[in-house]
Amino acid sequence: MKRILRLISVCVPLLALSLWVVQSQSTALPTLSQQQPYFTDVRDGSGVEFQHRNGAFGEKELMETFASGCAVFDYDNDGLLDIYLVNGATLPGLRKEGPEYFNRLYHNDGDFRFSDVTLAAGVQGQGYGMGAAAADYDNDGNVDLYVTNYGPNHLYRNRGDGTFEDATAKAGVTGGGWSTSAAFLDYDRDGDLDLYVCRYVVYEIGKKPRCGDTHRGLLSYCLPDLFEPMPHLLYRNNGDGTFKDVSQESGVSAVKGRGLGVTVGDYDNDGWIDIFVTNDRCRNFLFHNQRDGTFEEVGLMAGVAYSMEGVARAGMGTDFGDYDQDGWLDIFVNNFETEGAALYRNLDGQFFVDVGGEVGLNEPSYPYVVFGGGFVDYDNDGHLDVFAVSGHTQDDIEEYKPHITYAEPKLLFRNVGGRFSLMRDSSEGDLSRLKVSRGAAFGDLDNDGDIDVVVNDTNGYPEVLRNEVGSQRSSLLLKLVGTQSNRDAVGTRLEVRCGKSVRLLEAKGAASYMAANDLRVHVGLGGMHLVDELTLHWPSGKSQIIRELPSGYLHVISEDSGLTKSQKLTGH
Amino acid sequence: MSRPKGRQPLFTIADGKASTPQRLGAMVAWGAILIAMLVVPRTPARAYYGQDTTFGPRDSGGGASVRVQPSKPPVGEILPEPDAIFRQARDHFRAGRTREAKTRLQEGLKSYPGYPPMHELLGLALSTLGEDSEALQHLKRAAELWPDQPVYQINLGIFYLRRSRAGDAEKALQLSLEAGPSPVAYSLLGLIRLEQNAGEEAVSLFKKGLELAPDDARSWYYLGLVHQSLAQNDSAISCFREVLRRAPRDFHAHLQMGKVYLKRGLREQALKHLQSAQELRPGNPELYQPLSEAYLGTGDLESALAAAQRAVELRPTDRQAHYVLGMVLARVGRTEDATKEFHISEGLPRAPEPSALERWREIAGQTPVANEANP
């Protein structure tokens, strides 16, 4: 007994010490919060009644989990961005057997009210829809629409009277196989928009292996590694409403990849637009424009093919943008769960380094499968922020990883001096709501000078996210009208000088995931109310300087005539 | 089941029918041992996690430790014969004479088949000799005979974990925790949870372990790996910093610290730690790839190239090593050589970063399972 007591006398102080250690080690995690929501989903009651259907019928066909994208573009030239939402189809038939499978075009009636004009416009689509690209390929002043499919794609030519004609066959851009994201760009600088189409894998419905946990009888979506990657497509615009497939002669089809995302921009500042493509579990492509109608794939050499350790990730949504304002376009890439987002900082127009971890993008995105997204100056402070949407690919992921959910939140990062802070919405906020999001399209839907977001969610209602904070700061929109250059001015470089700061922007023909963004250029101005000097370098080679552009306006700038119109933005 | 001969011990081992006061006394005694282990865990931590010398007293500056004397149970009396046999065998075992230990224990168990420490030690000896099937029988037998002895369950858990039987390991470790809190059990369960993609739960378990044994450098190390694998880089850095406070010359911590700093883009700091790691183990094949990246990030292309070439030399079939060499060659303008390296890289299979559990196996697998808590 004495021995026991002696031991207890030793134990008690040790226990006390243990408890003290427990107390002294408790730490509080830093949290970010805010009072006002950054974005509010205003779809309910807006007239956007679309509901996405992926046609799942129990066999876990792979396209079900990648669909679908969306677009924001002004199809009727009334100055307001309309919304196009891509839909799936029945499986295994791949047919839009009822209106519930139609793609939908919603006319923007103003004040976040929308009318369904799908049937009148004739853009309900055919087959299993994946993504959309929108631009004026025939330079007639009306934005056209290209819809990618699992199966033949469709080019809808905008007649300018509120209707579209299916110009696919005439244009020769059917594609085939499994197309995903597409980009309009004028790679040969001949004044009309060419078309790049990403393709995913060689896949035949009903012929995939059975994947999942066979012991537990779980059938799941197969990993893409099981399927052969496809060569991608490049169509050169002949200028007469037709395109020529130049995939081979341009060098684009020399490499194969499981393409999911594409963005275009002049990363080496040589005046010729280049192409960046994200691939799923194989290396990303950076096609350097060799100025002679051909491209050289330089992703490996430039350091954007893989992670810094040389590991292929599951690249999805992507965007070019000069986040650090050093005059070189950087590349943002969304990746899979446990990979985190990448931000390839452009060092010198030749080499990139992934600074995703360094700038704070990698860690918060690490738990999620992030699809659509890109650079957006959501708060109009003049710095490119990042907005991304996520949702797992496996609808039964909880069976394998109980702590991971199929539906996931949105990610909003604020750029503060080149570092990104995750902006946490309140738990009831619309960014926090868990969704299975895929395509995300960015644009100023209400012309109030800030960027709103449209998100297409798999097997769910889309989200129309109204920006609630951007209009607190000044900004302006630029609508560029090419004359010698392509009408939408895709590829035009803009140097925006406000006081001593100079920023590089570019009119882009593609970004995000299977989506088409506002073709207008948005310029956040922070506390400034004037752009002192705007220098435009049009794809034609022409340069133009416009001085003293006030904030709070949509400025229309013509390649020939310069500033032709300034229209006040709402709320300014 | 036969009972050890001679005087009646304080608590009955063979049939588990100890009286309540006997059990209470034993519990208190073992509680004291365990708490001592938890609060000053260097010895048991080294024992459980393997004898990685960098965690020994020398590296940690010879910090004070309370060593639990395992040769006798703290209370009660054990029959002299089995105790003597056990001690002889244990001395053999500790001196690396595992076969002698095995023989002595097998002989002893013929006379005292219900004596749990002998089963336990024999299990450990057989495990060391690679006789897994028999080892497991004895480890299980020891745990059956003394079910509320947490250390036996932990050793069983370790045995399973080394052999990738995470489910069995989890059960054993849970049983050990039912008998009493243990930093080792928490840490090992943390590794299992991480493997099960329950990262946050893994972190929580490690933290529980560290609350009990805040000076356990190895637990800090593994928690750092857990944070690292969750891309929680700042937290990982804090953990590795804790390791280095206790073991400033710990190679593993310097290496991982270097890697995490690289992820965070803090290249100068990364370089400092990777250079320290290089000093400690210049022949380590894992070191040179991140070292090359760090030099590349700091603009020292010449050193980056040398490190990348060394990485390839040490790991000629490593895809990533060739990739990094390609990157460096590209940066120094040797495009053709870079292309060659990229080509080699693309032809090689990907070698994924070892998981925290794999790293544990790598370190713990070098040495026998622990026996420090045996009487």
Q: Are residues B56 and B151 in the same domain?
A: yes
> Which residue range forms the structural domain that includes residue B7?
1-66+76-166
- Biggest CA pair distance of chain B: 82
CB B254 within 8 A of CB B244: yes
| Percentages (nearest 5) of helix, strand, coil residues in chain A | 10, 40, 50
Confidence of residue B14 (pLDDT cuts 50, 70, 90): very low
Residues A294-332 have pLDDT tens digits of 999 999 999 999 998 888 999 999 999 999 999 999 999
Q: Chain B contacts of A367, Cβ < 8 Å?
A: 230
Burial A483-517 (b: 16+ CB within 10 A, else e): bebbbbbbbbbbbbebeeeebbbbbbbbbbbbbbb
CATH of the domain at B125: 1.25.40.10
Q: Are residues B9 and B102 in the same domain?
A: yes
Cβ pair B339:A362 closer than 8 A: no
Mean pLDDT of B325-352: 93
> Is B133 domain-assigned?
yes
Q: Could you tell me what percent of chain A has a pLDDT over 90?
A: 88
> Is B259 domain-assigned?
yes
> Is B223 domain-assigned?
no
> Is B308 domain-assigned?
yes
Q: Are residues B152 and B271 in the same domain?
A: no
Residues A334-373 have pLDDT tens digits of 999 989 999 999 999 999 999 999 999 999 999 999 999 9
Asked if A7 has any chain B CB less than 8 Å from its own CB, the reply is yes
Of the candidates B103, B135, B166, which is a domain's last residue?
B166
> Is B198 domain-assigned?
no
A28 pLDDT higher than 60: no
CB neighbourhood size of B137 (10 A)? 15
Contacts for A323 with CB less than 8 Å, ≥ 6 apart: A330, A332, A343, A345, A359, A375, A383, A384, A415, A418
CA distance B216 to A96: 62
Chain A nearest CA to B323, separation (Å):
6
Q: Which of A326, A317, A247, A238 is nearest to A284 (CA)?
A: A317
Cβ pair A4:B25 closer than 8 A: yes
Mean pLDDT of A195-207: 97
Cβ pair A403:B198 closer than 8 A: yes
Find the range with the poorest average confidence among A360-364, A427-431, B203-207: A427-431
- Return the pLDDT at B179: 85
Asked if A399 has any chain B CB less than 8 Å from its own CB, the reply is no
Q: Chain B contacts of A14, Cβ < 8 Å?
A: 32, 35-36, 39
Of the candidates B149, B166, B183, which is a domain's last residue?
B166
Chain B nearest CA to A404, separation (Å):
8
B30 pLDDT higher than 60: no
Chain B nearest CA to A224, separation (Å):
16
Report residue A373 as tokens: 């997204």
Chain A nearest CA to B271, separation (Å):
15
- A342 to chain B: nearest residue by CA? B263
- Return the pLDDT at A527: 87
Residues 312-351 of A with CB under 8 A from B: 312, 338, 340, 351
> Is B5 domain-assigned?
yes
Find the range with the poorest average confidence among A98-107, A505-514, B64-73, B160-169: B64-73
Q: Chain A contacts of B30, Cβ < 8 Å?
A: none
Chain A nearest CA to B72, separation (Å):
14
Mean pLDDT of A461-473: 96
Q: Are residues B18 and B143 in the same domain?
A: yes
Ordered DSSP codes for A202-262: ---TT-SPPEEEGGGTEEEPPPGGGS-BEE-EEEEE-SSS-EEE-TTTTTGGGSEE-EEEE
B17 pLDDT higher than 50: no
Hey, is B325 helix, strand or coil? helix
Q: Are residues B33 and B157 in the same domain?
A: yes
CA distance A105 to A124: 8
Q: Are residues B255 and B157 in the same domain?
A: no
> Is B134 domain-assigned?
yes
In B50-149, alpha helices (H): 80-94, 98-111, 116-128, 132-145
DSSP state of B173: H
A370 against A29, higher pLDDT: A370
Give the closest of B32, B230, B293 to A10, CB-based: B32
- Return the pLDDT at B163: 86
Residues 44-103 of B with CB under 8 A from A: 74-75
B363 phi/psi in degrees, rounded to 5: -85, -50
Q: Which of A288, A282, A301, A193 is nearest to A250 (CA)?
A: A288
- B210 to chain A: nearest residue by CA? A22
Give the closest of A25, A308, A402 to B210, CB-based: A25
> Is B233 domain-assigned?
no
- Beta strand pairing call for A474-481 and A295-297: unpaired
Residues 278-317 of B with CB under 8 A from A: 289, 293, 297
Confidence of residue B264 (pLDDT cuts 50, 70, 90): confident
Of the candidates B117, B141, B166, which is a domain's last residue?
B166
What Rg do the C-alpha atoms of chain A give, in angstroms?
24
CB B323 within 8 A of CB A311: no
Q: Could you tell me what percent of chain A has a pLDDT over 70?
A: 94
Contacts for A300 with CB less than 8 Å, ≥ 6 apart: A283, A306, B326, B330, B342
CB B278 within 8 A of CB B285: no
Amino acid at B269: Q
Q: Chain A contacts of B319, Cβ < 8 Å?
A: 310
Chain B nearest CA to A160, separation (Å):
49
Cβ pair A310:B320 closer than 8 A: yes
Confidence of residue B364 (pLDDT cuts 50, 70, 90): low
Give the closest of B35, B262, B338 to A18, CB-based: B35
CB A101 within 8 A of CB A487: no
Asked if A215 has any chain B CB less than 8 Å from its own CB, the reply is no
Mean pLDDT of A538-545: 97
Cβ pair B36:A401 closer than 8 A: no
Q: Are residues B273 and B139 in the same domain?
A: no
CA distance B32 to A11: 6
- Return the pLDDT at A115: 98
Number of domains in chain B: 2
Mean pLDDT of A45-72: 97
Strand partners, B292: none
Ordered DSSP codes for A147-194: EEEEEE-EEEEE-SSS-EEE-HHHHT--EEEEEEEEEEE-TT-SSS-E
Asked if A15 has any chain B CB less than 8 Å from its own CB, the reply is yes
Average predicted confidence (pLDDT) for chain B:
78
Cβ pair A21:B214 closer than 8 A: yes
Cβ pair A309:B31 closer than 8 A: no
Q: Are residues B153 and B22 in the same domain?
A: yes
Report residue A58 as tokens: 């129990």
Residue of A15, A24, A300, A335 to mutate for B, most B C-beta atoms under 10 A? A300
CA distance A316 to A306: 13
CB A336 within 8 A of CB A312: no
CA distance B33 to B83: 19
A530 against A20, higher pLDDT: A530
Find the range with the poorest average confidence among A193-202, A402-411, B59-68, B183-192: B59-68
Asked if A311 has any chain B CB less than 8 Å from its own CB, the reply is yes
Cβ pair A403:B231 closer than 8 A: no
Q: Are residues B143 and B36 in the same domain?
A: yes
- A3 to chain B: nearest residue by CA? B75
Residues A439-462 have pLDDT tens digits of 999 999 999 999 999 999 999 999
